[in-house]
Amino acid sequence: MNQLALLTPVFFLTLWTFSVFLVLAFGRVRHTKNPQDAAHPKDLKGSMPDWVERAGDNYNHLFEQPVAFYALTICIAVINDFEPFMIDLAWTFVVLRVIHSLVQLTFNLVLLRFVIFVIGWLVLAVMACSQLF
């Protein structure tokens, strides 16, 4: 049961990433006349509405910092650290990533996103350091 409690945030963030993918796919399909134009997504820059480009950027961001979260959380599960504090930290990270996505997908205030990003790294650092000391 405790293992599932620690890994549930991993599953949730994976499903959130899939949700952002659906937004991105809808936007790109709707606004691309020729599917071959999407062979290199960088070539789509400037040809899509802002919300589609932000969805693409956010989708990419969900494969950057969260990868460290996935690896770290799975490592913590393997060594059987199912402390409530660790579970709370995992959920805190996931909530931060969802907020980061919502900010980027809507009003996209970069400074706010950066603060959320830094706090996310601090959460990951606490998770990692708690295993070392």
* Sign of the CA dihedral running 40, 96, 17, 6: positive
pTM: 0.94
Instruction: Please tell me the distance from the alpha carbon of residue 119 to that of residue 114, in angstroms, as a whole number.
Output: 9
Residue 1 has pLDDT above 70, yes or no: no
pLDDT bucket at 94, cuts 50 / 70 / 90: very high
Buried b / exposed e over 81-120, threshold 16 CB at 10 Å, is bbeeebbebbbbbbbbbbebbebbbeeeeeeebeebbeeb
**Mean pLDDT score of the chain:** 94
Domains and CATH numbers, the chain: 2-132 (1.20.120.550)
